[in-house]
Structure 1
Amino acid sequence: MTQRAALLIGNLAHTREEWEIECAQVASKLHEYPDGSREDFISKCKSGAFDGVFALYRSNDSNKITGNFNDELLDALPKSLKFICHNGAGYDNIDIPACTKRGIQVSSTPVAVNDATADVAMFLMLGALRNVTQCFQAVRQGNWRGNFSLGHDPKNKTLGILGMGGIGSAVATRAKAFGMKIQYHNRTQLPAKEEDGAKYVSFEELLKTSDVLSLNLSLNASTRHIIGKEQFDMMKNGVIIINTARGPLIDEAALVDALKSGKVWTAGLDVFEEEPKIHQGLLQCENAVLLPHIGTATYETQRGMELLVLDNLKSAIKGEKLLTQVPEQKQVRANL
């Protein structure tokens, strides 16, 4: 068999043993690049330090080391590289068309992130329905309820889910337990069995008729700022916005205006357009419930994500096949 080495970029918090033992059993050699800079990493690639690497492990966290996997970085990677195994449900920092053009297959970590992210979406949704930020801040300042106002019950509210994939479906399951009515919009309607009673509607109808709108779709060129002033204008007065997907899905400046005008009653956000920087207007809005991108931040989920990436890596080395290849590449394969 051709020599097939593996490369780990960044660190492993929960699966060091699996990397060192299980991956060593299938890879000809294990390389690691735990820290450094983009310039240094590219230099090492060009010097031949990682020649023979067939599959690599990278993550959203390791992006701070290498920067985005764009044309510049992809051109520097060893020609032997055929698989990128990514730790993260979102992979907007990887240029998928550029990888596909070079014959590099990419995997992500769907399924493993569904429950934890959906839990945080419900946490934000309930917090936004009750408008908890103002009271939360007041009680810590010794001001008891502060400028208290009544919230809303989730029961009988219409939840609109934009992006009914694994996470969106998990949000729907949880929301139904609170008595919410579920509708959704995808590019294509799901089979009835997968809808589980949810109503499929157009994008425009979703915006016009939802009491609560949850964003659960991937970020790409077509979805960036999919929610902006034009879309807010179409929504119900007093709508509630939840985003646990990617910050740039929303035009934050337009969201701030909508929060201040009352068009959006409250918002629950775990992600931001320029994170870790947060729009000052959002920080000033007491009707915004904010979390620092902790949707998948549980021990169980983080270990599950790492294991799934390593399983993809082992499958790539042994059988030249990914278990959870990104859908854009699966679609390309299906059209061949």
Structure 2
Amino acid sequence: MPRVMICGDLVWAHQECEEIFQGLAEVVRMDSPDRADFLSGLKQGGKYEGVVGVYRHNVSADSIGVFDREIVDALAAAGVKWIAHNGAGYDQIDVLYCKEKGVWVSNTPGAVDDATATTGFYLMISALRCFSRAERTLRSGGWKSTHRPGEAHDLTGRTLAILGLGGIGLRLAELAHAFPMRIVYHNRRPNPNAPAWCEYFGQGRLDEMLAQADVLSVHVPLKDETVGYVGETMIRKLKRGAVLVNTARGKVVDEAAMIRALEDGHLGAVGLDVFPDEPQVNPRLLEFPNATLLPHMGTETCDSQKKMEIRALSNLRDFLTKGKGFDIIPEFK
């Protein structure tokens, strides 16, 4: 019987895991305290010998590090053919090297959409209405002494620009459209699942979209080519007083450029759930009263985390039964 490895947290779907692999594969839990022990376990005669598929959670990086070339080499040499990553983003895996070594990678799109979109929605509302500053003033005993109605805005009739209309961006669009807000978006190509009320702006019209945005919400995956993608030029194309929301990855936004725009008032507010060097947060951001900050809470609900676990486990099962999981990442298509 083949073996599959649980590498990192499995919190909510223990019973489902047993049911999914019963009679199909032996489940082995990665219990290595460090990378050296993990690599040793993958060798012939090691405790992970015979593993052909891996369920991976980012928390595993705390003990064995990210899935870089060294780990991918060891996995491939051990006979691993599939990494079922738990999460929409997979920047902790060298996926191009996985492809080179014949190790397939899947993620969990869809399972994270609602929780991450509602996080972005909260950040947008808080930024526009100055709710974060108001709560901090109340907690310090000042009631609403720091509130300035001239800096607060309703959502109704505002324009939300979505940079990357995938599953999360589309769910955010649905939520915001109910207010109603005007929804515009930019992708490399139009999303065929976008409703008619989502207005598409291609590359040639990106500046036009930015100039109309009251809120820019970032939903761009982190890759080498997207580091600093939302930079000085893009931020300055936004109208003065616009709001920037980021629930994607911290490094997609040029943090220094964003801070400069907050300092000179070009950005009216920001709502951030992600940061370049998590869990460290730039102390300068803590000084802005118009910054709503969350500690990467996007998928931190039991409902979404269970869906993500089951989806990742199901990809691993489909690899064993069908030869291929459903959620293959774009780099492999």
The TM-score, its normalising length taken from structure 2, stands at 0.94
* 2:44 is the alignment partner of 1:43: no
Is the aligned partner of 1:59 residue 2:57? yes
| Distance change >3 Å, CA 18–CA 25, structure 1 → 2 | farther
Q: Deviations over 1:83-133 (max 9, x none)?
A: 000001100111111011111111101001101111111111000001222
Q: How does 1:215-294 map to 2 (within 5 A)?
A: 215-294=218-297
Deviations 1:175-197 (A, max 9, x none): 10111101000011123x52442
What residue number does 1:13 align with? 11
Name the CA distance, whole Å, in 1 between partners of 2:29 and 2:331.
28
Question: Alignment partner for residue 209 of structure 2, among 167, 182, 206?
Answer: 206
Q: Which of 26, 31, 34 matches 2:28?
A: 31
Once the two structures are overlaid, the 10-residue window that deviates more, 39-48 or 10-19, is 39-48
Q: Check the 8 A contact 1:121/1:171 in 2, yes or no.
A: yes
Amino acid at match of 1:296: T
Letter in 2 for 1:132: F
How many Å apart are 1:61 and its aligned residue? 2.2
Runs of 4+ in 1 over 6 A off after TM superposition: none
Task: Report the counterpart of residue 135 of structure 1 in structure 2.
Answer: 134
Match of 2:197 in 1: 197
Change (3 A) 1:203 1:223: farther
Residues 1:147 and 1:199: Cα distance change in structure 2 (over 3 Å): same
Match of 1:39, as an amino acid? Answer: A
- Residues 27-73 of structure 1 show CA distances to partners (whole Å, capped at 9, x for unaligned) of 1x221114522232122223533222111101122222221111111
| Deviation for aligned residue 1:145 | 0.8
Letter in 2 for 1:67: G
Between stretches 4-13 and 164-173, larger displacement belongs to 4-13
Letter of the structure 2 residue corresponding to residue 138 of structure 1: T
CA contact (8 A) 1:11 1:34 kept: no
Contact 1:53–1:80 (CA under 8 A) maintained in structure 2: yes
What one-letter code is carried by the residue in structure 1 that aligns with 2:187?
N
Question: Is the Cα contact below 8 Å between 2:32 and 2:38 reproduced in 1?
Answer: no
Map Cα deviations across residues 271-297 of structure 1 (whole Å, 9 max, x no partner): 111111111111111110001111111
- 3-state SS of paired residue (1:25): coil
Q: Is the 8 A contact 1:160 1:211 kept in 2?
A: yes
Q: Secondary structure at the match of 2:227?
A: coil
Which residue of the partner structure matches residue 163 of structure 1? 164
- Write out per-residue CA displacement over residues 150-179 of structure 1, whole angstroms, 9 at most, x where no aligned residue: 210111111100000000000000010111
Q: Structure 2 CA distance, aligned partners of 1:234 and 1:252?
A: 16
Letter in 2 for 1:65: S
Are residue 185 (structure 1) and residue 182 (structure 2) matched? Answer: no
For the pair 1:325 / 2:324, whether they are aligned, the reply is no
Normalised by the length of structure 1, the TM-score is 0.93
- Residue in 2 aligned with 1:101? 100
Amino acid at match of 1:326: I
* Aligned equivalents of 2:24, 2:196: Cα separation in 1: 41
CA RMSD of aligned residues (A): 1.4
For structure 2, which runs of at least 5 residues remain unmatched after alignment?
none
Query: CA contact under 8 A between 1:243 and 1:268: conserved in structure 2?
Result: yes
The size of the alignment, in residue pairs, is 326
Could you list the per-position Cα deviations for residues 215-256 of structure 1 after superposition, in whole angstroms to 9, with x for gaps in the alignment? 012111111111111222221100100111111111112111
Q: Which amino acid aligns with 2:113?
A: N
Cα separation, 1, equivalents of 2:235 and 2:118: 25
Per the TM alignment, residue 11 of structure 1 is displaced from its structure 2 partner at its CA by: 2.7
1:115 match:
114
The Cα shift of 1:324 comes to 0.8
Give the letter aligned to residue 43 of structure 1: S
Native 8 Å contact 2:119 2:298 kept in 1? yes
Q: Which amino acid aligns with 1:230?
A: T
Instruction: State the distance in 1 between where 2:279 and 2:196 align.
Output: 36
Find the aligned partners of 1:98 and 1:203 in 2 and give their Cα distance.
Answer: 32
Q: Tell me, in whole angstroms, the C-alpha distance in 2 between the residues paired with 1:206 and 1:323.
A: 34
Amino acid at match of 2:38: F
Partners in 2 of 1:169 and 1:21 — Cα distance?
33
Q: Percent identity?
A: 39
Q: Is the 8 A contact 1:215 1:244 kept in 2?
A: yes
1:311 maps to which of 287, 311, 314: 314
1:84 alignment partner, SS class: strand
